[in-house]
Structure 1
Amino acid sequence: MSTNLRHAGFKAMGTYCEIQLYEASRISARRLVRRLIEEVNRLESKYTRYRDDSFLSKINRSAGDQTGVKIDVETLKLFEHAQTCYEQSDGLFDITAGVLRRVWDFSRKRIPDESELQELLPLIGYERLNWHDNMLFLPENMEIDFGGIVKEYAADSLANLARELGVKRGLINLGGDFAAIGSQPENRPWPIGITHPEDPTKMMSHFHLSEGGLASSGDYERSFILDGKRYSHLLNPRTGWPCAGLRAASVSANLCTVAGSFATIAMLKQEQDALNWLTESGLPFVFMDGAGQIGGPGLAD
C-alpha cells in the first residue's frame, strides 16, 4: 500500500507547529497526529511559566521552602541537560536567569537601571541550586525557566513517540525547531528553510535534514532598537545586559535538544567566540553576524 504525506498544523508553546507524516491511511494519520499533539500539550502544561498549575510554577513557588520539592525523572533529565549547557557555556546558559524579566520589558522598550540589575544578579547561578537526591531546594526569590530548552526537548519527545507508534518517516516542527523521523521516500532529505532574521518573508538559508534535529536561535523576534542601539532579549546572566554577538544561528545535530543548546550558547557568546564554538563543534550550522552577513558550513544549495 502506498503512503502519502499528511500535514497537520496547530498552535502550541506560543507558536505555529506542524507535523508531517508518511501514512497510508488518513484515519490512522489523524489518530497519530492527535496523540502527538496531546503529548506536546502535556509538556507545555507541565513546563510553562504562564500557568499557575504547571509543575514549573510549583517548583518556583517552592523557593525558600525548607521542605523542598520532589523532581520527577523526566524533569531531572531537563535539569541535567541544563547543567550541561551551563558548564559548556561557562555559565552563560543559565536557567535561573529568568529573574531578569522582572526589570526588562521588551514589549515596552524599557531599559532597567544598573542598580535594578545589581539587585537581581545574586539570585542567578545554577550552582546555587541545592539538591538532595531527587529533592530540589530552590533558594529564596530564585526561579527556574525551561524556556531555552523545553521546545527542543518536546520536538525530540514527539519524534521518539512517533517511532514508538510505528511512524517510519516524518518531520516534527515546533516553531522552527525540527526533529526528523527518518528521511523521505527514496532517501530524500527533508528540505528546511531558515527564516531571514530581518525579513520573515525571505529565507536566510536551507538545510537538508534526514535524521536528528535542527534548531535556531536569534534576537530577531523580541529585540528592540532605542536611540540607535539594539537590545537583544538574550541576556547575559553575569551582567544582566543583552548579549551583542551574532544576530542568528541555526545548528543541526543528532537531537534537536543538542542543536538548540549549541545554537543558544552561540548567541550568548561574543561573535568571534561564537563562531569558534560552532566551528569546533563540527556540526553543520549557518549564522548571521552583527553586520548582517550570512555564512556557515551548513548552507545548502
Structure 2
Amino acid sequence: MALNSNDLKYFRFAFKAMGTPCEIQLFAESHSEAKRVSDAAMADVRRLEARYSRYRNDSLLSAINRVAAEGGQVAVDDETAGLLNYAATCYEQSDGLFDITSGILRRAWRFEQGKLPDDAQVRGLLEQVGWHKLRWEPPVLEFPVAGMELDFGGIVKEYAVDRAAALCRDAGVRHGVINLGGDIKLIGSRADGSPWRVGISHPRQKGSMIKTLALREGAVASSGDYERCIVVDGIRYGHVLNPKSGWPVRHLAAVSVVGDFCVVAGSASTIAMLKEENGPAWLDAMGLPHLWIDVEGNVGGSLAESAAYSKSRSIRN
C-alpha cells in the first residue's frame, strides 16, 4: 500500500458485532484493497465475539462458566490467559472495584422491568462475587466457590478494537479508525495529515456532544450510566454496579478516557465510574487524559478545556 497520501482514497465499512453498530474507516489505494483489510479486521472481531460472548452457549466463556457453576478448574489458552492477567491487574489497580466476576449481579438488576431488585437477592449474589475468591495460576483457573461466573464485557470489545487496528496496520494501513460501538482506536492521522474528530456524547442530551476532540493517535473509550438504566422516585440507577455493594454507582454520569490502547482507556473509564467522587483524582494520578460529567451536570477533567492528546501511561502490571 503506497504511503503517498495523494494516491489514497477514503473508505468506510459499517457492520454490527458485539451487540452494537461498528465501523472501520480507512484510506487505501483501492476499494478492493480496503475491503480485503477491513474484512480481515471484521473477521477477527467476530472471532472474539464467538469466543467470549456470554450470550452463546458454544462460546469458550460459556464453557468456562459451566465449570464455574459446579466449582472446579479449567486450563485456558494464551489469549484467554492474557485477558485474565489484565483483569487481575485492573482488579488490583482499582482496589477490587473492577471485577469480572460481578456480571452475575445482572440476575438481580433487570433494568427492563423498571423496578429495583430485592436487597436480599443482591446480598445473596454477592456471595458469588469476588476475583479474590478464584485461584488463577496460569494457565489454570480454579473456582473453589461454586456458582460463580466470569464476564469479559468490560474488556473484550476494547481488546477487539486494538487487535483490529493492529491487523489493519500490519496490512499496510497508515490512516484509519476502528470504532466498535463508540470504543475507538486511531491508526495515524487522516491521509492529508489532519486530525480525526472524535465526539464525546452527552449522557443526558441525546444527539449532543460535550466535546469534540481532534486526535492523530491513540484511543478513546467511555463509560456511563446511560446505556441501561431505570429511574425510580427521581433517582437514576445505571448499569455500572459496585461489586462490593451490588448497587449502581451514583456520582459520575459518564467518563471518557484517551489512552494509547483502547483496552486501557475502556477499563480506566469504568474504574473511574466505580471510584465515584475519587474517580477524577485517580485518572489524574494515572496520567490519563479524560473528561467527566457528574450526575449534577458538572463537567471536568484534563480534556475539558483542551482537545490536545498527550502521551499517556497505561495501567501497568
Instruction: Please indicate the TM-score interval, normalised by the length of the shorter structure.
Output: over 0.9
8 Å CA contact 1:65–1:137 kept in 2: the answer is no
Task: Compare 60-69 and 244-253 and name the one that shifted more.
Answer: 60-69
Pick one of 245, 249, 256 that aligns with 1:243: 249
Task: Kindly indicate whether residue 170 of structure 2 is the aligned counterpart of residue 161 of structure 1.
Answer: no
**In the TM superposition, what are the counterparts of 1:53-132 in structure 2 within 5 Å?**
53-63=58-68, 65=70, 68-132=73-137
Q: Deviations over 1:87-111 (max 9, x none)?
A: 1111111000011111111111231
Match of 1:155, as an amino acid? Answer: V
CA distance in 2, matches of 1:106, 1:206: 31
Pick one of 214, 223, 243 that aligns with 1:208: 214
Match of 2:147, as an amino acid? Answer: N
Gaps of at least 5 residues in structure 2 are: 1-5, 308-317
**TM-score normalised by the chain length of structure 1:** 0.96
Task: Kindly indicate whether residue 52 of structure 2 is the aligned counterpart of residue 47 of structure 1.
Answer: yes
Residue aligning to 2:302: 297
Task: Kindly indicate whether residue 279 of structure 2 is the aligned counterpart of residue 268 of structure 1.
Answer: no
- What's the offset of the Cα at 1:270? 2.2
Gaps of at least 5 residues in structure 1 are: none
Residue aligning to 2:313: none
CA distance in 1, matches of 2:226, 2:72: 41
8 Å CA contact 2:115–2:230 kept in 1: the answer is no
Residues 267 and 99 of structure 1: is their aligned pair in 2 closer, same or farther, counting only changes over 3 Å? Answer: same
Task: Kindly indicate whether residue 2 of structure 2 is the aligned counterpart of residue 2 of structure 1.
Answer: no
Match of 2:76, as an amino acid? Answer: I
Residue aligning to 2:315: none
Match of 2:130, as an amino acid? Answer: G
CA distance in 2, matches of 1:64, 1:264: 26
CA distance in 2, matches of 1:64, 1:109: 28
- What's the offset of the Cα at 1:64? 5.3
DSSP-derived class of the 1:242 partner: coil
8 Å CA contact 1:64–1:137 kept in 2: the answer is no
Match of 1:121, as an amino acid? Answer: L
8 Å CA contact 1:286–1:295 kept in 2: the answer is yes
**In the TM superposition, what are the counterparts of 1:125-274 in structure 2 within 5 Å?**
125-138=130-143, 139-271=145-277, 273-274=278-279
Runs of 4+ in 1 over 3 A off after TM superposition: 64-67
- What's the offset of the Cα at 1:212? 2.0
Task: Compare 179-188 and 154-163 and name the one that shifted more.
Answer: 179-188
Number of residue pairs matched by the alignment: 300
Match of 2:39, as an amino acid? Answer: R
Q: Deviations over 1:76-125 (max 9, x none)?
A: 11111111111111111100001111111111123122211221112111
Task: Kindly indicate whether residue 52 of structure 2 is the aligned counterpart of residue 24 of structure 1.
Answer: no
- What's the offset of the Cα at 1:297? 1.9
8 Å CA contact 1:103–1:112 kept in 2: the answer is yes
Match of 2:236, as an amino acid? Answer: R
DSSP-derived class of the 1:200 partner: coil
Match of 1:111, as an amino acid? Answer: L
Residues 225 and 64 of structure 1: is their aligned pair in 2 closer, same or farther, counting only changes over 3 Å? Answer: closer
8 Å CA contact 2:8–2:191 kept in 1: the answer is no
- What's the offset of the Cα at 1:190? 1.2
**TM-score normalised by the chain length of structure 2:** 0.91
- What's the offset of the Cα at 1:66? 6.2
CA distance in 1, matches of 2:137, 2:290: 39
Pick one of 263, 282, 285 that aligns with 2:287: 282
Task: Compare 219-228 and 133-142 and name the one that shifted more.
Answer: 133-142
CA distance in 2, matches of 1:210, 1:84: 28
Residues 64 and 108 of structure 1: is their aligned pair in 2 closer, same or farther, counting only changes over 3 Å? Answer: closer
Q: CA RMSD in A?
A: 1.4
Q: Deviations over 1:193-250 (max 9, x none)?
A: 1111112211111122222211000001111111111111111111111111210000
Match of 2:22, as an amino acid? Answer: C
CA distance in 2, matches of 1:103, 1:167: 45
DSSP-derived class of the 1:264 partner: helix
Residues 238 and 216 of structure 1: is their aligned pair in 2 closer, same or farther, counting only changes over 3 Å? Answer: same
